[in-house]
């Protein structure tokens, strides 16, 4: 057993700065995996497909289906 005052000192290593958004996303993925009884990669696929679907509908709303210059 080493006494506390005889321990070898180590240089202080600061923690990596992690964005709160990243932590929130990881937590949300874990919750979704538990709720849907899915693996993490399946949850990521679900999120990606939802984002793709949303971007497709937003692109469809940008331009009309038909275009007419007028008379």
pLDDT tens, residue by residue, 23-69: 898 999 999 899 989 998 899 998 899 888 888 776 666 666 676 77
Residue 1 has pLDDT above 70, yes or no: no
Q: What is the pLDDT of residue 34?
A: 92
Separation of alpha carbons 61 and 68, rounded Å: 17
Q: What's the average model confidence in pLDDT over 2-25?
A: 74
Nearest alpha carbon to residue 43 among 24, 26, 59: 26
Residue 56: other Cβ atoms inside 10 A = 10
Better pLDDT: 8 or 25: 25
């Amino acid at each position: 057993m080493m006494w506390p005052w005889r321990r070898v000192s180590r240089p202080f290593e600061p923690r990596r700065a992690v964005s709160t958004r990243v932590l929130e996303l990881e937590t949300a993925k874990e919750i979704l995996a538990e709720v849907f009884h899915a693996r993490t990669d399946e949850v990521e696929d679900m999120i990606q497909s939802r984002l793709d679907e949303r971007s497709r509908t937003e692109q469809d709303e940008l331009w009309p289906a038909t275009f007419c210059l007028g008379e």
